[in-house]
């Protein structure tokens, strides 16, 4: 297991009440899997991670951290082109849908931040 060094210049209880929202995108498991060592490092340094995502990413993180606090974020429902040359066009056509999803996500994030007294977001 990969681990980050502990922060030695602060008393160990200094971060005890700090809650950090870890919110990987559900655009493949890469985002979520790269958050696993980050969540372990937060815990090692006495932060409380609050994990927010959806779909397979949320499922993976719930399996890895079954006792943590989870929130669900809306899915972006991105559709990818089957041909690489059409990728930009396919994404461009979805921009209105993306902007709507981002606006919805922002409102949900504001509620999560208030609900859990979040100190930072990753």
DSSP letters for 3-56 = -PPP-TTS-TTTTTT-EEEE----SSHHHHHHHHHHHHHHHHTT-EEEEEE-HH
Beta carbons of 34 and 57 less than 8 angstroms apart: no
For the cut 90, the answer to whether the pLDDT of residue 60 exceeds it is yes
To 10 degrees, the CA torsion angle through 99, 105, 106, 110? 170
Q: Tell me the torsion sign for CA atoms 84, 31, 6, 119.
A: positive
Does this model's pTM top 0.85? My answer is no
- What pLDDT, on the 0 to 100 scale, is given for residue 25? 87
Model pLDDT for residues 68-107, shown as the tens digit of each residue: 999 999 888 888 878 888 888 998 999 999 999 999 999 9
């Amino acid at each position: 297991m990969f681990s980050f060094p502990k922060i030695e210049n602060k008393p160990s209880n200094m971060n005890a009440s700090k809650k950090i929202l870890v919110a990987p995108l559900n655009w493949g498991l890469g985002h979520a899997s790269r958050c696993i060592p980050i969540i372990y490092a937060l815990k090692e340094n006495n932060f409380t991670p609050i994990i927010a995502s959806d779909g397979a990413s949320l499922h993976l993180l719930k399996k890895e951290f079954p006792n943590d606090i989870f929130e669900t974020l809306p899915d972006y429902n991105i559709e990818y082109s089957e041909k690489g040359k059409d990728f930009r066009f396919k994404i461009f056509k979805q921009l209105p849908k993306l902007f709507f999803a981002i606006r919805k996500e922002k409102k949900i994030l504001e509620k999560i931040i208030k609900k859990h007294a979040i100190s930072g977001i990753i």
